[in-house]
Amino acid sequence: MKLWGGRFKKDVNLLVNDFNSSINIDSRMYKEDIIGSLAHVKMLGKQNIIPSDDSLKISHGLKEILSRIENGVIKIDETAEDLHSFIEGTLTYYIGDEGKKLHTGRSRNDQVTLDTKLYLKEALKNVAHDVLSLQSVILEKSKEHTGTIMPGYTHMQKAQPITFSHHILAYAEMFKRDIGRILDCYKRLDEMPLGSGALATSTYPIDREFVAKELGFSKITLNSIDSVSDRDYAIESLSTLSMIMMHLSRFSEEVILWCTGEFNFVELDDEYSTGSSIMPQKKNPDVAELVRGKTGRVYGDLMTLLTVMKGLPLAYNKDMQEDKEALFDGLDTSSLSLKTFTGMVQTMKIKKDVMRKAAAGGFTNATDVADYLVKKGTAFRNAHEIVGEIVLHCIKVNKSIEELSLDELKSFSPIFTEDIYKAIDLLTCVEERKVIGGPSSSSVTIQIASLEKFIIVSKESLSCLK
C-alpha cells in the first residue's frame, strides 16, 4: 500500500518501486518505529487532536503488531516502500479506518530520523559495552603481566624495555577516549525530532515535550528544518566507530606481528586461528587480519555518509535514505569485530621468556647506560656519545653491553664501576622508570587502578542513559 496514491494516475514502474524501497534496510527498526508511533498517538489523544478512543484503539493495534512481528506471526513485506508505510498499512488492515489517523501531524521525514535516533541510542550503548568488555580483558591481562618484560619499539626498532602490561594498557587509554566519544555522540543525538513534520512542523496543537519525555529524550530539537535534514548524529557515530576500528586495527597489526616466527611473542588459541588448505603447518591469525580489513569497510561507511550529505540543500532529500545502510553496517561490523577480537586477546598465550629474550637484544638498555653516566656527573650529550661508541664496539665484538668486562667499559669512560651491571639489568631499567605513565610496576599499578575505576564508572554512566 502506498501512502501517497491520490495524486497519481498510474502505478509506479516496478524497477522504480524496487529502487525506491528501503524496507530491506530499515525493517530492523520496526520496534523503534512502533514505540515512536505509540508516543505520538498518545499525544494526539491527550491533545484532543484525535478522539481518545481512536488513540487507544491505535495503541492497542500497534502493540499487537509489535508482538506479532516479534513472535513471527507478521512477516515484514519486502515489497513495501519502507518500514513506515508497512506498519501504517498493517495497522489499518488490522483495526480499520481509525488506523488512518495515526499519521496526523507528522511526516515520514521526522519519523525516520526519530526511529534512527532511537535505534542508534541503543546501538551505541551496546558498542560501549563491547568496548568495556575488551577493556576488562586488557585489565585482567595487565594485572598478570606487570613483570613480563618485552622490548618497546620506535620505528619498529627495539628501543627500551617495557612490560607487556604497560604495552597493552596503551590500548586501554585509546579505548577510554572511545568511550568518551560514544557518550559525547549520545549526548548530542539525544534531541527528539518528531513534530518537525515534513520540514515546517504543523498547525495542530502538538505537545513535543510530552513525546520527548515518553521516549526518554532529554530535549526536543529546536529548528524543524534542521531536524529533518540533520544526519550529523549518524556521521559522528560512524566517525567514533572508525576511531575504535583504527585502534583495533593497530592492535591487530601487533598481534599479527607477534604471531610470526620472527617475533613469536604470542600464540593464539586454536579457537581463534585458522589453517591453510595446502600448507599443513600453518596457523594463521585470521581474526586479527579480518579486523584490520574490516576497518577499511567502516571508514568506507563514514565516507559514504559524508559524501551523501555534502551537497544536499535543505531540507529532506531522498538521498538521505542511503544513511541507514552505511550506519547499520558500521555498527554491525564494529560490534562483531570488538566481540571477536576480545575473545582472541582473552585466550591468547603470552610467551614471557621469548619476550624477555627479545628485550635483552638490540641494546634496549643503552639509554640506561647513558643515564648511569649522567647520574655520576657526565653531561647527557657526552654520555650519549660515549654509549654510542660502546654500542659500535659491541656490534664489532658481537656482545651485549652487559657482557663487556668492567675494564672494557672503563676504556670508554673511567666513571664506570661495578654497579653498572645492576643499573642496566632489564628489570632495573623497567623498575627505575617510576614516572607516572611509565613501565615500572608502581606506575603500571596506577594505570591499572585507573582502568578498573574507569570501567566501573562507565558502566554506571551507561546504565543511567535512557
Taking a C-beta distance cutoff of 8 angstroms, is the pair 322, 272 a contact? no
d(CA 129, CA 122): 11
Question: Which of these ranges, 57-65, 105-113, 292-300, 349-357, lies near ligand ARG under the rule CB under 6 A?
Answer: 105-113
- Grid cell of 239 as nine digits: 566517525
Task: List binders of ligand ARG among 10-69 (CB under 6 A).
Answer: 22, 26
Contact between 191 and ligand ARG by CB under 6 A: the answer reads: no
Answer yes or no whether residue 108 interacts with ligand ARG by CB under 6 A.
yes
Full DSSP string of 373-387: HHHTT--HHHHHHHH
The three cell numbers of residue 133 are 568488555
By the rule CB under 6 A, 104 interacts with ligand ARG? no
- Residue 317 as a binder of ligand ARG (CB under 6 A): the answer is no
Compute how many other C-beta atoms are within 10 angstroms of the C-beta atom of residue 419. 10
Check residue 112 for interaction with ligand ARG (CB under 6 A).
yes
**Nearest distance from residue 321's CB to ligand ARG, in Å?**
4
The grid cell for 181 is: 566519544
Please give the grid coordinates belonging to residue 226.
534542521
Q: How far is the CB of 227 from ligand ARG (least distance, A)?
A: 13
The helix (run of H) or strand (run of E) holding residue 291 is helix 286-309
Active-site residues, by number, are 155, 276
Q: How many residues bind ligand ARG (CB under 6 A)?
A: 9
Piece in contact with ligand ARG (CB under 6 A), picked from 169-177, 200-208, 314-322, 403-411: 314-322
Quick check: helix, strand or coil at residue 151? Answer: strand
| Nearer CB in complex with ligand ARG: 26/301 | 26
Query: Length of the chain, please?
Result: 466
Identity of the amino acid at 386:
I
- N- to C-terminal Cα distance for the chain? 34
φ, ψ of residue 220 in degrees (nearest 5): -110, 155
Q: Which H/E stretch holds residue 349?
A: strand 349-350
Q: Binder to ligand ARG among 109, 196, 365, 413 (CB under 6 A)?
A: 109
Q: What is the closest distance, in whole angstroms, from the C-beta atom of residue 108 to ligand ARG in the complex?
A: 4
Closer residue to ligand ARG, CB minimum distance, 310 or 466:
310
CB of residue 56 vs ligand ARG: minimum separation in angstroms?
Answer: 27
Chosen residue from 32, 33, 54, 82 binding ligand ARG by CB under 6 A: 82
Q: Which residues bind ligand ARG (CB under 6 A)?
A: 22, 26, 82, 108-109, 112, 316, 320-321
